[in-house]
Chains A and B, each alone.
Chain A
Amino acid sequence: MTQSHRIEGGQIDRTKTLRFTFDGIPYQGHPGDTLASALLANGVRLMGRSFKYHRPRGPISSGSEEPNALVELRTGGRQEPNTRATVAELYEGLTANSQNRWPSLRFDAMGVNDKLSTFFAAGFYYKTFMWPKSFWEKLYEPIIRRAAGLGSVTREEDPDGYDKGFLHCDLLIIGAGPTGLMAGLTAGRAGKRVILADEDFRMGGRLNAETYAVGDAQGADWAAATVAELSSMPNVRLMTRTTVVGAFDHGIYSAVERVSDHLLTPAKGKPRQILWRIYTGRAILAGGATERPIAFENNDRPGIMLAGALRAYANRWGVKVGERVAVFTNNDDGLRTAKDLQSRGVDVVAVIDSREGGDLLPGIRHLRGAEVIDTSGKLGLTSITVRQLNGRSETIAVDALGVSGGWNPNVNIHSHHRSRPVYDPAIAAFVPGKDGPPGLLVAGAAAGQMSTHAALKTGRDAAIAALDLTTAPELPQAEDAPVGITPLWHVAHGKGRAWIDLQNDVTVKDVKLAKQENFTSVEHLKRYTTLGMATDQGKTGNVIGLAIMAELTGRSIPETGTTIYRPPYTPVAMGTLAGRSRGREFKPFRLTPSHHWAKEQGAIFVEVGNWLRTQWVPKPGETEWRQSVDREVLATRKSVGICDVTTLGKIDIQGTDAGAFLDRVYANTFSTLAVGKCRYGLMLREDGIVFDDGTTARMGENEYVMTTTTANAVAVFRHLEFCRQVLWPEMDVQLISTTEAWAQFSVAGPNARKLLEKVVDQDISDAAFPYMGAANITVGGLRARLFRISFSGELAYEIAVPTRYGDALLREMLARGAEFDPIVYGTEALGVMRIEKGHVAGGELNGQSTALNMGLGKMVSKKKDSIGMVLSQREGLTDENGYRLVGVKPVDPQAKLTAGSHFLEKGAAPVAANDGGWLTSKVYSPHLGHDIALGYLKGGDKKIGQRMRIVNLLAGLDTEVEIISPHMFDPEGERLRG
């Protein structure tokens, strides 16, 4: 297909042709085109369907404010919905499809919504789907869900990478139009570190779309020359295709750079997009302005466009949108479109100027005091109806209409810290208000300075002010025309619909309805009508909507006010926010010293915090996890098992006050612990709830080694630093985390000592190294630590060597102790053995339970001050009939238990009022031959030996159980002292 609507000129490279498809039809364009400009050049105006009424739509803008021309770009895993055709840069092989239509763009079955529009007025969700209640889930919601949304999301994985980056500068300039370029030149020549970012792929902003001169060059040429000078400066970083999307605290801005969106596929090793965090000394918002339409009946047909966009397509892209063009304006800028188009040989059949009086354009039919009252054309504009000053109506055949209702400064980023824009009647638009982000200046059209001269001047002055400069470049000559606007927000006529928010299909009628139902505040207007809530966030529609509300309520626009803006300025892909944090890289993994050995054995791993721990190690022939876990438990209790416990937090605590410090952070006492001994420690939070537990050993007079749970290793260390620095800075105590410095293995079972004797250099007989002993030892000369502690209830030790020897130590222990058939057990077997022994862990250390609940109330010493000691005595925490840790076994050994099940008395109804507590942990005990569990039961210590029920309504479980002591295996502890 030929480019039927291509005219001379523009900033496209006609020496190269790019092929692309839209809805499967092949077209051609040129480098420098956007998808929208290339489609328009090929005479394609219909690009989408509207959200609610499925009205045929074409682009109305040439920039990121576009509400209509949203397409699905690319295919497969790269498919991207809601891409604005007006900013999608054309590349060879681009494929785009229209969305929100079925079966085709030209015939859309959902277009029936348009005929039923009376049912879909503002607030229809709240009114229509109310009754009967039972219809909601089965009927209304599925229908709404099917009809709602724009575009579709691919189900395939995105094959491209996204990255995050950090930049620093003295001055960030947001927008590279005349304002931003002049600011950049001023700061750049002064040697400052400047970042100049622009969302477009070509810098120059509006200069690229205009014909007037800057200095003695065309505006676009001045822009190109300025960009060339800036790009030669090492202190200036120019970032095209980069949208600054948010202003955050302390001069930090976020920006999205579309590194590869203009390519078929990213270059090897390059991301698709980068999310930048920019740390700035100062920033200048030079984001320009966005034109707004005027609301009149049927103002949404393809071919009706913002006047500035019509001009941009002609001047920048060499595209005439129509053969017979009219312009409807309430300000002087609209006249520029007529003049530029005419000078390019486009037939401008009429200029409908709502302002009465004033000069007439020469050589063009310029109707003053006239308004467009209606249009026709099913899939694209064919004619407009004009009401002239004398009241006479006239229908004019046109296929394109440029509309200008004035320009809104792009104040968005200035509002990101809740600064409210203020109305400036001189330009009939909102300009930045007070108290914007500290360090942010606004210049040019974004500040309501609408002429090119004012843009250049305020851009330069902002750079001078921001950086305290003493020198500045000369200002080039440029037009300094006044805005010349007489506001017209909507054309009052007839009963047809006049669109305000094209993307969300909000019309003047909806605003009237909102007013009628008293949703007159701008915030209510927005939520009731959904004005400004679509992906374009109302960049073209918001101000018209609130101006109409002002009119309807008889208030002024300042009295009516405006909603404000939050980041992001334009939509940001989820992948960009995620960056590299996805899939395997979602979060870092920490591997234990035995990981490689375990992997060789085909071990199953489980995530514990950031760690990957061995869950169990299957042997050949074991097909079900319980087979492996039961075997590991039985083998450990029969002979010896080894478990990697490196993940437990380890903190070295040293200083002359180390013992006194521990007395304050643990509920029980440590200053009395003998050197060379370990003790179980219980750590409370200040509110009296148990925080953590673990064993702590005294390795020397002023030296302790604390262990924490795996889950709380970081939090405990943070807490200890808090105690040390903030609560008791006078204490002589030093801390260091050594979790990663030591590989530590538990060696448990009747043959644990015999196995260890084969690797350690010292005498570790029961006499030399009794229960709860701790010592610095050596393993073949290598420094090591040995603790005689047990979590399994067996004769057990924990042996630690420097981390890099952990793998070797494990292999050595297995090899030298081969005669004892040692096995390696994982976290499941660890859990079985600790529950058999009634030791608390994650399910019991749940952040809600006290020492008393755990049956450890006596551990909280009241003879000394410690964290949580006072508040653990609160009335509510000392209830005699409060929760107590109990053991549970089913009366029928075949019956299954489920953690999370609730205790009920026999015969009690399963309702909350009868709830007696819950099961915190449950396992199958291979020794006892049935399920066992731990649980918190109200008054549980008095209920040992009683029978109750365990009920789990979700699992359909109602089982009779016996309440027993939590110490279910070897309650006398004979084995661990062996």
Chain B
Amino acid sequence: MIIHHPILGPRDAQEFVYLGDANLIDRPDGMVAGVEVFHDYLYNRTNPAGEHQELWYHEQGDRSWLVVTRNTVTHEITRVELARDVARARRRTK
């Protein structure tokens, strides 16, 4: 696979490490949320057959964490963003 890194351009997927569902961005506040909320955050996934937002880390590169929007059926990648930008944007809309 090829991931179009927003800063570095097209890069082979072998340069990256895969983490999983990008909902890991939305970590609850541990001083507020309890075990149940954290359990949902950590374990519950939608596992779609289709478009999926997921976290990839450019370990053999610039160490950026990326949010990659990938179709789990076709592997087509429609969007790649810096996770930092996505996280900041999600916070603003909260």
Residues of chain B contacted by A721 (CB below 8 angstroms) = 57, 63, 65
In the bound complex, do residue A729 and residue B84 qualify as a contact, i.e. CB atoms below 8 Å apart?
A: yes
In the bound complex, do residue A725 and residue B65 qualify as a contact, i.e. CB atoms below 8 Å apart?
A: yes
Q: Does A340 contact B (CB under 8 A)?
A: no
Given contacts A250-B1, A722-B19, A729-B87, contact A871 B38 (CB under 8 A): yes
The CA-CA distance from A714 to B17 in the complex, in Å, is 12
Given contacts A722-B19, A722-B65, A725-B84, contact A873 B57 (CB under 8 A): no
Q: Does B83 contact A (CB under 8 A)?
A: yes
Residues of chain B contacted by A714 (CB below 8 angstroms) = 59
Q: Does B35 contact A (CB under 8 A)?
A: yes
**Contact string against A for B residues 45-59, beta-carbon threshold 8 Å, 1 for contact and 0 otherwise:** 000000000010101
Residues of chain B contacted by A871 (CB below 8 angstroms) = 35, 38-39, 42
Given contacts A252-B2, A870-B38, A871-B38, contact A726 B33 (CB under 8 A): no
Q: Which residue of B lies closest to A866 (CB)?
A: B30
Measured CB to CB, the closest approach of chain B to A112, in angstroms, equals 51
Interface residues of B in 27-84 (CB under 8 A from A): 27-31, 33-35, 38-39, 42, 55, 57, 59, 63-65, 74-77, 82-84
Interchain CB contact (< 8 A) of B35 among A725, A727, A866, A870:
A870
The CA-CA distance from A279 to B13 in the complex, in Å, is 12
The CA-CA distance from A248 to B38 in the complex, in Å, is 37
Residues of chain A contacted by B30 (CB below 8 angstroms) = 865-866, 869-870
In the bound complex, do residue B38 and residue A726 qualify as a contact, i.e. CB atoms below 8 Å apart?
A: no
The CA-CA distance from A730 to B87 in the complex, in Å, is 9
Interchain CB contact (< 8 A) of B25 among A248, A726, A865, A866:
A726
The CA-CA distance from A874 to B2 in the complex, in Å, is 40
Residues of chain B contacted by A958 (CB below 8 angstroms) = none
Q: Which residue of A lies closest to B43 (CB)?
A: A687
The CA-CA distance from A721 to B55 in the complex, in Å, is 12
Q: Does A438 contact B (CB under 8 A)?
A: yes
Residues of chain A contacted by B82 (CB below 8 angstroms) = 725
**Contact string against B for A residues 231-267, beta-carbon threshold 8 Å, 1 for contact and 0 otherwise:** 0000000000000000011111000000000000000
In the bound complex, do residue B55 and residue A864 qualify as a contact, i.e. CB atoms below 8 Å apart?
A: no
Q: Does A757 contact B (CB under 8 A)?
A: no
Q: Does A758 contact B (CB under 8 A)?
A: no
In the bound complex, do residue A250 and residue B84 qualify as a contact, i.e. CB atoms below 8 Å apart?
A: no
The CA-CA distance from A417 to B76 in the complex, in Å, is 12
Residues of chain B contacted by A248 (CB below 8 angstroms) = 1
In the bound complex, do residue A726 and residue B65 qualify as a contact, i.e. CB atoms below 8 Å apart?
A: yes
The CA-CA distance from A687 to B42 in the complex, in Å, is 7
Measured CB to CB, the closest approach of chain A to B22, in angstroms, equals 9
In the bound complex, do residue A726 and residue B87 qualify as a contact, i.e. CB atoms below 8 Å apart?
A: yes
In the bound complex, do residue A718 and residue B17 qualify as a contact, i.e. CB atoms below 8 Å apart?
A: yes
Q: Does A347 contact B (CB under 8 A)?
A: no
In the bound complex, do residue A865 and residue B19 qualify as a contact, i.e. CB atoms below 8 Å apart?
A: no
In the bound complex, do residue B87 and residue A725 qualify as a contact, i.e. CB atoms below 8 Å apart?
A: yes
In the bound complex, do residue B38 and residue A727 qualify as a contact, i.e. CB atoms below 8 Å apart?
A: no
Q: Does B88 contact A (CB under 8 A)?
A: yes
The CA-CA distance from A726 to B87 in the complex, in Å, is 6
Q: Does A686 contact B (CB under 8 A)?
A: yes
Measured CB to CB, the closest approach of chain A to B67, in angstroms, equals 9
Measured CB to CB, the closest approach of chain B to A331, in angstroms, equals 37
In the bound complex, do residue B42 and residue A726 qualify as a contact, i.e. CB atoms below 8 Å apart?
A: no
Given contacts A250-B1, A252-B2, A729-B88, contact A718 B29 (CB under 8 A): no
Interface residues of A in 712-760 (CB under 8 A from B): 714, 718, 721-722, 725-727, 729-730
The CA-CA distance from A864 to B32 in the complex, in Å, is 11
Residues of chain A contacted by B83 (CB below 8 angstroms) = 725-726
Total A-B contacts with CB atoms under 8 angstroms apart:
71
Given contacts A721-B63, A870-B38, contact A726 B55 (CB under 8 A): yes
In the bound complex, do residue A865 and residue B84 qualify as a contact, i.e. CB atoms below 8 Å apart?
A: no
In the bound complex, do residue A718 and residue B57 qualify as a contact, i.e. CB atoms below 8 Å apart?
A: yes
Given contacts A250-B75, A864-B31, A871-B38, contact A727 B57 (CB under 8 A): no
Given contacts A249-B75, A726-B24, A870-B35, contact A686 B42 (CB under 8 A): yes
The CA-CA distance from A279 to B10 in the complex, in Å, is 11
Measured CB to CB, the closest approach of chain B to A705, in angstroms, equals 19
Residues of chain B contacted by A438 (CB below 8 angstroms) = 74, 76
Interchain CB contact (< 8 A) of A730 among B29, B55, B75, B88:
B88
Measured CB to CB, the closest approach of chain B to A941, in angstroms, equals 24
In the bound complex, do residue B35 and residue A873 qualify as a contact, i.e. CB atoms below 8 Å apart?
A: yes
Interchain CB contact (< 8 A) of B27 among A687, A727, A864:
A727
The CA-CA distance from A871 to B24 in the complex, in Å, is 15
Q: Which residue of A lies closest to B85 (CB)?
A: A729
Q: Which residue of B lies closest to A736 (CB)?
A: B63
Residue from the set A249, A721, A722, A870 with the largest chain B CB neighbour count within 10 Å: A870
In the bound complex, do residue B25 and residue A874 qualify as a contact, i.e. CB atoms below 8 Å apart?
A: no
The CA-CA distance from A718 to B2 in the complex, in Å, is 21
Measured CB to CB, the closest approach of chain B to A714, in angstroms, equals 8
Measured CB to CB, the closest approach of chain A to B57, in angstroms, equals 6
The CA-CA distance from A498 to B25 in the complex, in Å, is 63
The CA-CA distance from A866 to B1 in the complex, in Å, is 35
The CA-CA distance from A727 to B77 in the complex, in Å, is 23
In the bound complex, do residue B25 and residue A250 qualify as a contact, i.e. CB atoms below 8 Å apart?
A: no
Measured CB to CB, the closest approach of chain A to B8, in angstroms, equals 15
In the bound complex, do residue B35 and residue A874 qualify as a contact, i.e. CB atoms below 8 Å apart?
A: yes
The CA-CA distance from A611 to B25 in the complex, in Å, is 33
Measured CB to CB, the closest approach of chain B to A718, in angstroms, equals 6
Given contacts A249-B1, A726-B25, contact A865 B65 (CB under 8 A): no
The CA-CA distance from A873 to B59 in the complex, in Å, is 32
The CA-CA distance from A865 to B27 in the complex, in Å, is 11
Interchain CB contact (< 8 A) of A727 among B31, B59, B74, B87:
B87
Given contacts A721-B57, A725-B64, contact A686 B38 (CB under 8 A): yes
Interface residues of A in 854-882 (CB under 8 A from B): 864-866, 869-871, 873-874
Q: Which residue of A lies closest to B63 (CB)?
A: A721
Residues of chain B contacted by A865 (CB below 8 angstroms) = 29-31
The CA-CA distance from A438 to B59 in the complex, in Å, is 28
The CA-CA distance from A714 to B60 in the complex, in Å, is 11
In the bound complex, do residue A250 and residue B87 qualify as a contact, i.e. CB atoms below 8 Å apart?
A: no
In the bound complex, do residue A726 and residue B84 qualify as a contact, i.e. CB atoms below 8 Å apart?
A: yes
The CA-CA distance from A5 to B59 in the complex, in Å, is 62
Interface residues of B in 9-27 (CB under 8 A from A): 13, 17, 19, 24-25, 27
The CA-CA distance from A726 to B65 in the complex, in Å, is 7
The CA-CA distance from A86 to B91 in the complex, in Å, is 65
Interchain CB contact (< 8 A) of A722 among B1, B34, B57, B75:
B57
In the bound complex, do residue A250 and residue B24 qualify as a contact, i.e. CB atoms below 8 Å apart?
A: no
8 A-B residue pairings within 8 Å (CB atoms):
A250-B75, A438-B74, A718-B59, A725-B65, A725-B82, A729-B87, A870-B33, A870-B38
10 A-B pairs closest in CB distance: A865-B30, A250-B2, A249-B1, A729-B84, A870-B38, A249-B75, A725-B84, A725-B65, A726-B83, A870-B30
Which residues of A are interface residues toward B (Cβ below 8 A)?
A: 248-252, 279, 417, 438, 686-687, 714, 718, 721-722, 725-727, 729-730, 864-866, 869-871, 873-874
Given contacts A729-B88, A870-B34, 6 further A-B pairs with CB under 8 A are A279-B2, A714-B59, A725-B82, A870-B35, A871-B42, A874-B39
